Amino acid sequence: MDNVPKYVAASATAVAMTARPRAGKPDDRELVRDAQKGVTVAFEELVRRHQQRVTAVVGGILRRREDVEDVAQQVFLKAYVSIQRFDMRSAFSTWLYKIAVNECWDYLRKKKVRPLSYEADLSEEQARHVEQFVSADGHGDNPSERAELREIVERLLADLSEEDRVMLVLKEAQGFAVEEIGRMLNLNVNTVKVRLFRARRKLAKTYRRRLGAHFDKHENRKFGGT
């Protein structure tokens, strides 16, 4: 039993699995094959391995912390139900992230969550907060301050398409690679790069427009009047 993986040895329901001892840690493919045969502990191990990244994908799309875990759970439930249909042509993680992205779109559609769109300029105080956050590292460490900043940036993001918003947050906040984002959204890597870059420029322009005259002061200070 020494070389039997921990996930197998841990459960009495996987007695059959112990007859096939494996050296080292099983990779995702082996676990998927076992899960397809109905070994629930194999799926449990897959959940343990991918829960963090799936939660990051869901968090990046929903950006509402209270719903993130519930939707992530739904993602794994859907993956379990349809694991027989997974043909191993892509990595299990890619397949799982795609389920996560679709589940999030469904969730947003069902909840009819529309991005907040305020055309009015930000208040003087809000503009100051954002400006401080942008210029000074460390500003916004306070949770309530950060929540307010999040709401302001969410408003600024309303000018972008949902897909561009998702790409930006997954890249900048969740730290996903451009390749991973491309696979999740079925987009070519170069397309993701160009769209990301344009989305960033658009966001910066919106930021400048909303901050208006207040930003000019900041700009002059930052670039020494150039």
Partner 1 sequence: MSEHNKIGCGKFEALLQDYSNGELPRPDAEKLTAHLEDCRECREALEDARLAGRLVSVFQKTDDPSAMFTRRVMAQIDAAERWMREQRSFWRPIEALSWRLAFSAALALALLFTYSFRTPSPVTAPAASAVLVPQTDAFAVPISAPPSTGDEVLMAIAEKHHERY
Contact residues for partner 1, defined by CB under 8 A: 40, 43-44, 47-48, 51-52, 55-56, 58-60, 63, 65, 68-69, 72-73, 76-77, 80-81, 130, 133-134, 140, 146, 149-150, 153, 156-157, 168-169, 172-175, 178, 190, 193-194, 196-201, 203-205, 207
Q: Please say whether the dihedral angle defined by the alpha carbons of residues 111, 167, 156 and 138, taken in this order, is positive or negative.
A: positive
Shorter beta-carbon distance to partner 1: residue 12 or 89 = 12
Note the residue count of the chain.
226
By C-alpha distance, which of 39, 42, 73 is closest to 55?
73
Please state the closest distance from residue 111 (CB atom) to partner 1, in A: 18
Please state the closest distance from residue 114 (CB atom) to partner 1, in A: 19
Please state the closest distance from residue 204 (CB atom) to partner 1, in A: 4
Rg (CA), the chain: 22
- C-alpha–C-alpha distance, residues 226 and 221, integer Å: 9
Shorter beta-carbon distance to partner 1: residue 33 or 200 = 200
- C-alpha–C-alpha distance, residues 130 and 127, integer Å: 5
By C-alpha distance, which of 36, 24, 7 is closest to 95?
36
Please state the closest distance from residue 174 (CB atom) to partner 1, in A: 6
